[in-house]
């Protein structure tokens, strides 16, 4: 997904709206879940409440990441600050891991002391509300992620999704909580595993992007077609490397031109290719010329 300056402004506004809506809804749900967990004595619901609150923290991190990524290039960062959005994604992954470890500890203590939970109508209603609202937030975050290309939006969506799933698991457990004292503790462990796994996948994707990934074959073929159509000659476009800085992308590549061609003519061809690629993909291109024998 490639953006011009107007589109970058729009996607930043979308990201901001997702962040603030998430913060508001999550704070409301945290209060409801925490109250329901205390009333019912459920470690799983209390754990789920704190998971919801960390969703607010992750949304704040997303907002900070988006704000920093908007900063223009400077002397120390000539390629801009777009990768700050990927760093914010890593912070979200670490938060998920911390929450998972915290919930494992609480669940084990619950099982060690044989502490049952007294689920009631309050817990059932709050849990159902949580499932619906959190899945709605997840769908909205995923939609914003598709529109903006921000990985942090996808991470935030998965954070919402894990909260929705954990609430759904707890809801199922409520049906059996009166029959088996250990259900609440076991569900707490199950929720912890889901949270930890989602954090791992989010971190894996962000790290892969920061290290640099191979460009998609379809994109490379598209760029070759653009170059061929612009020049209408065999330039043998090769040695292509795409550098993704989130808010903009840069391509370096080689072409082959006749060694007897004048420098002025070669420069015109290179400029035509660079302009053609940017017009179609918004990718800034730098081209090296190899002599064709």
Ordered DSSP codes for the chain: ----HHHHHHHHHHHHHHHHHHHHHHHHHHHHHHHHHHHHT-HHHHHHHHHHHHHHHHHHHHHHHHHHHTSPP-SS-TT-STTHHHHHHHHHHHHHHHHHHHHHHHHHHHHHTT------HHHHHHHHHHHHHHHHHHHHHHHHHHHH--HHHHHHHHHHHHHHHHHHHHHHHHTTTTT-TTHHHHHHHHHHHHHHHHHHHHHHHHHHHHH--PPPHHHHHHHHHHHHHHH-S----EEEEEEE-SS-EEEEEEEEEETTS-HHHHHHHHHHHHHHHHHHH-EEEEEEEEEE-
Highest average pLDDT, of 53-67, 136-150, 195-209, 211-225, comes from 136-150
Q: With a cut of 90, say whether residue 219 has pLDDT above it.
A: no
| Low-confidence winner among 18-22, 44-48, 56-60, 250-254 (lowest mean pLDDT) | 44-48
Q: With a cut of 70, say whether residue 243 has pLDDT above it.
A: yes
The reply to whether the predicted model has a pTM over 0.75 is no
In the chain, ranges of CATH 1.20.1510.10 domains:
5-211
Average pLDDT over residues 114-128: 73
Q: What is the CATH number assigned to the segment(s) 5-211?
A: 1.20.1510.10
Cβ contact 66:16 at 8 Å: yes
pLDDT band at 116 (very low <50, low <70, confident <90, very high): low
> Tell me, what's the pLDDT at 136?
92
Task: Round to whole Å and give the CA distance between 275 and 284.
Answer: 8
pLDDT band at 288 (very low <50, low <70, confident <90, very high): very high
CA within 13 Å, CB half, 285? 30
> Tell me, what's the pLDDT at 1?
46
**CATH 3.30.70.1350 at 217-292, yes or no:** yes
> Tell me, what's the pLDDT at 68?
79
**Residue carrying the six token digits 């619906």:** 132
Average pLDDT over residues 26-53: 80
Q: With a cut of 60, say whether residue 117 has pLDDT above it.
A: no
Average pLDDT over residues 28-50: 80
Task: Round to whole Å and give the CA distance between 193 and 196.
Answer: 5
> Tell me, what's the pLDDT at 214?
74
Phi, psi of 234, deg, nearest 5:
-80, 105
Percent of the chain with pLDDT over 90: 9
Task: Round to whole Å and give the CA distance between 171 and 123.
Answer: 8
pLDDT band at 271 (very low <50, low <70, confident <90, very high): very high
In the chain, ranges of CATH 3.30.70.1350 domains:
217-292
* CA 188 centroid distance within chain: 25
> Tell me, what's the pLDDT at 169?
72
Q: With a cut of 70, say whether residue 6 has pLDDT above it.
A: no
**Residue carrying the six token digits 């930890």:** 196
Phi-psi region of 80 (alpha: psi -120 to 50; beta: other; left: phi over 0): left
Query: Which one is predicted more confidently, 240 or 62?
Result: 240
Q: With a cut of 90, say whether residue 254 has pLDDT above it.
A: yes
Highest average pLDDT, of 158-167, 181-190, 202-211, 269-278, comes from 269-278
Q: With a cut of 60, say whether residue 2 has pLDDT above it.
A: no
Average pLDDT over residues 29-39: 85
Nearest to 131 by CA among 123, 141, 119: 123
């Amino acid at each position: 997904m490639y953006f011009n300056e107007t589109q970058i402004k729009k996607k930043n506004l979308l990201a901001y709206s997702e962040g603030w809506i998430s913060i508001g809804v999550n704070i409301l749900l945290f209060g409801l879940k925490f109250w329901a967990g205390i009333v019912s004595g459920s470690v799983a619901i209390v754990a789920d409440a704190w998971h919801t609150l960390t969703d607010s923290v992750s949304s704040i991190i997303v907002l900070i990441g988006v704000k920093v990524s908007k900063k223009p290039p400077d002397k120390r960062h000539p390629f801009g600050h777009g990768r700050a959005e990927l760093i914010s994604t890593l912070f979200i992954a670490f938060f998920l891991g911390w929450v998972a470890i915290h919930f494992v500890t609480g669940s084990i203590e619950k099982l060690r002391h044989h502490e049952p939970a007294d689920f009631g109508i309050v817990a059932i209603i709050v849990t159902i509300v949580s499932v619906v609202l959190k899945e709605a937030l997840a769908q909205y975050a995923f939609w914003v992620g598709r529109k903006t290309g921000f990985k942090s939006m996808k991470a935030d969506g998965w954070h919402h999704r894990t909260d929705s799933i954990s609430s759904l698991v707890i809801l199922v457990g409520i049906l059996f909580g009166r029959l088996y004292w250990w259900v609440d503790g076991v569900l707490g462990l199950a929720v912890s595993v889901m949270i930890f796994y989602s954090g791992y996948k989010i971190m894996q994707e962000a790290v892969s992007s920061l290290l640099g990934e191979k460009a998609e074959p379809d994109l490379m073929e598209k760029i070759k077609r653009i170059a061929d159509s612009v020049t209408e000659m065999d330039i043998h476009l090769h040695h292509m490397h795409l550098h993704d800085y989130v808010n903009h992308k840069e391509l370096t590549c080689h072409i082959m031109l006749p060694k007897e061609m004048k420098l002025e003519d070669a420069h015109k061809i290179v400029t035509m290719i660079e302009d053609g690629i940017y017009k179609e993909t918004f990718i800034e291109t730098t081209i090296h010329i190899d002599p064709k024998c």
